[in-house]
Amino acid sequence: MQRPDLFDTDAITRARLRADRTGFASFLQDEAIAEVQERLKEVNRTFTSPAIVGPRAADWAKALGLPDAKCVADEEVLALNEASHDLVISALCLHVANDPVGQLVQMRRALKPDGLLLAPLFGGETLAELRDCLSAAEVEVTGGLAPRMVPMGEIRDLGALLQRAGLALPVADSTPLTVTYETALHLMRDLRAMGEVNVLAARHRGGLRRDVLMRTLALYAERYGQEGRIRATFDIVMLTGWAPAENQQKPLRPGSAAMRLADALGTDEHPAGDAATPRLPPQKD
């Protein structure tokens, strides 16, 4: 039995075309491009056969200084040849893929051995404030809740996608970005100008009622207002992985360490669960 699509691909296309016609808001794309540039500097390798996947792949190729990159659309079947590229970049579009693992598998297959995959996408903290206020307003006003916002994956789950796709040395890390707007309505207009709107296949087709919208705006200002403006979080998660190769660094087998961690740290070892075992405090961003 075929699994129904989560996203409406026709709605995705319409949203992107509308954003292009009305003036594309590119600042999040620019942030993601800057993150990719930083990772490429850290790798310190010259890539001779790159490919970029996404609706604005040509813009990314120009911004990244990769004029010879193969640019392909983020369709269900990617127009990439097997083992043809030493670098593949997914250009901030994987979060609306109906089969993200399938997309990653195709990109991994397109890589040459020891080729690099970089895939920035929106993560679970993206628009947390708007989700909170919109859902609270709709429940309060209508007594129900409709699927109005695209779900985003948590970083742990997104990192697991790399392993499922067969990529080596998988890493997922997050770069939260806080942006302020005059009102939540200005935020919504910006999302429309990015093409990042509700494209769920099961979305409510009737639009947002005015009373729900007005209550959303009021709750947003009340809960997340600061100095006359409201804040919005965008969580850009970077997925990094490599096509498997014989000469890659391999993790050590369990039990193969040459010395105990306690000896290396110059401390005493305590059994698991012992009251003397130090506990690390939770980390904050």
pLDDT band for position 144 (50/70/90)? Answer: confident
Specify if 49 maps to a domain: yes
Radius of gyration of the chain from its Cα atoms, rounded to whole angstroms: 22
pLDDT tens per residue, range 146-192 = 888 888 999 999 999 999 999 999 999 999 999 999 999 999 999 99
- Residues linked to residue 233 through DSSP beta bridges, in sequence order: 178
Q: Answer whether residue 1 shows pLDDT above 80.
A: no
pLDDT band for position 208 (50/70/90)? Answer: confident
**Percentage of residues of the chain with pLDDT beyond 90:** 74
pLDDT band for position 277 (50/70/90)? Answer: very low
24/244 Cα distance (integer angstroms) = 37
Specify if 152 maps to a domain: yes
Q: What is the pLDDT of residue 264?
A: 53
60/90 Cα distance (integer angstroms) = 10
Specify if 250 maps to a domain: no
The DSSP bridge pattern shows strands 70-72 and 85-90 to be: unpaired
Specify if 2 maps to a domain: no
Domain count, the chain: 1
Mean pLDDT of the chain: 88
Specify if 76 maps to a domain: yes
210, burial (CB in 10 Å: exposed 0-12, middle 13-18, buried 19+) = exposed
197/21 Cα distance (integer angstroms) = 15
pTM, rounded to two decimals: 0.84
Q: What is the pLDDT of residue 262?
A: 52
Lowest-pLDDT choice from 6-20, 36-50, 66-80, 258-272: 258-272
Specify if 169 maps to a domain: yes
Higher pLDDT, residue 279 or 175: 175
182 CB contacts (<8 Å, ≥6 apart)?
Answer: 229, 230
Q: Which domain holds residue 202?
A: 9-245
The DSSP bridge pattern shows strands 225-226 and 50-53 to be: unpaired
Q: Is 174 left (phi over 0), alpha (psi -120 to 50) or beta?
A: beta
Specify if 24 maps to a domain: yes
pLDDT tens per residue, range 211-223 = 999 999 999 999 9
**Could you please report the per-residue DSSP string of 158-185?**
HHHHHHHTT-EEEEEEEEEEEEEESSHH
pLDDT band for position 202 (50/70/90)? Answer: confident
The CATH number that applies at residue 68 is: 3.40.50.150
Specify if 259 maps to a domain: no
The DSSP bridge pattern shows strands 168-181 and 229-242 to be: antiparallel
Report long-range pairs for 166-169 (Cβ below 8 Å, ≥24 apart).
Answer: 166/105, 166/108, 166/244, 167/104, 167/108, 167/117, 167/241, 167/242, 167/243, 167/244, 168/241, 168/242, 168/243, 168/244, 168/245, 168/248, 169/240, 169/241, 169/242, 169/248, 169/249
Q: What is the pLDDT of residue 136?
A: 96
195/215 Cα distance (integer angstroms) = 24
